[in-house]
Structure 1
């Protein structure tokens, strides 16, 4: 009887010891995971100095923001490329900025418009050209986009509205000061730039 009691106690002590060891291992693993998560989250916290005042900001997951950056890149390129003033220097600066965001297809379209005298007409006619993005359709798996916008040409005696539909591809690249989104547009072409309206301005 005494031997059986001793054997039972040994089994109980053995089970308690094993359970204690397993519980300790689990606690240690949970502690490591929790500490790693805290360190990971702390690295997402940055302080930015604004006029001498430190402001806490949070980094977000790059992959979550990527679709937004793709669309923003498409909008930014079209805004830079098609926002023109009757100033040769202004036109060149805007176009040069836009060409950092696109492959040779942007340069080809710029050369085409220049050879047709489009920019000379803007300057000689003292015109102001702006563009408004109506919608941007993104095909993320296929890395394609279609841009739907309205182009406005404000001349001295008339206001011309033109449809602007373009398409192209996009791909990831290294971020740089000239391309902060790290997105390069490719195979870009204008599908439709037909005139919507041409309204004469009142002289009064």
Structure 2
């Protein structure tokens, strides 16, 4: 009788200890999970101060901004490639910056322009080339783009206006200081570059 009651008390004590351990593990697991989710949610929020007033801003994922980033990358590339003053060092610097943003197809176009004397003509005639982006069509699924722009070449004697249509594709690459959007323009071609008026 004494042995039987001792055995039941031991079993009851063992069950109580096991239930306590399981309960503590469940509470600890829930607490860790909740803390991690709270920290993750807080990292998505950014507070911007306007004077003394804080405003809540939310950080968006890469998918939400991809089209915007792709269009900004395409526009920046065209500005580097086609905004040219009559300064040889500056032309080398800006076109060099554009080469970080596109593959070998851009280098081929640069070499073709160089062979045709385009850059030397800008320098010798003190021309200033600028490009104005009219629109960028971008297909998110195929990642193909069409860039519509107006190129203005100002010379001492006359101003020349040309329509510009280029096309290509956009691929993801690691972000670098020279390529802050982390995108690469591939298979870039100029489809149209014709005079509008003088």
After TM superposition, the score normalised by the length of structure 1 is 0.75
SS for the counterpart of 2:179 is coil
Task: Identify the residue that residue 138 of structure 1 maps to in structure 2.
Answer: 138
Range with bigger deviation, 31-40 or 108-117? 31-40
- Structure 2 runs not aligned, ≥5 long: 1-26, 49-54
Task: Identify the residue that residue 68 of structure 1 maps to in structure 2.
Answer: 68
| Alignment partners' CA distance in 2, 1:107 and 1:169 | 15
| Alignment partners' CA distance in 1, 2:62 and 2:108 | 32
| Alignment partners' CA distance in 2, 1:191 and 1:74 | 16
Task: Identify the residue that residue 42 of structure 2 maps to in structure 1.
Answer: 42
Task: Identify the residue that residue 86 of structure 1 maps to in structure 2.
Answer: 86
The C-alpha deviation readout for 1:106-164, integer Å capped at 9, x for no partner, is: 00000000000000110000010000000000011011000000000011111110000
Task: Identify the residue that residue 196 of structure 1 maps to in structure 2.
Answer: 196
Task: Identify the residue that residue 160 of structure 2 maps to in structure 1.
Answer: 160
SS for the counterpart of 1:193 is strand
SS for the counterpart of 1:142 is coil
Range with bigger deviation, 58-67 or 72-81? 58-67
| Alignment partners' CA distance in 1, 2:119 and 2:47 | 45
After TM superposition, the score normalised by the length of structure 2 is 0.77
User: Once the 2 structures are TM-superposed, how far is the Cα of residue 59 of structure 1 from its aligned partner?
Assistant: 3.0
User: Once the 2 structures are TM-superposed, how far is the Cα of residue 62 of structure 1 from its aligned partner?
Assistant: 1.6
Task: Identify the residue that residue 179 of structure 1 maps to in structure 2.
Answer: 179
- Structure 1 runs not aligned, ≥5 long: 1-26, 49-54, 199-204
User: Once the 2 structures are TM-superposed, how far is the Cα of residue 197 of structure 1 from its aligned partner?
Assistant: 0.7
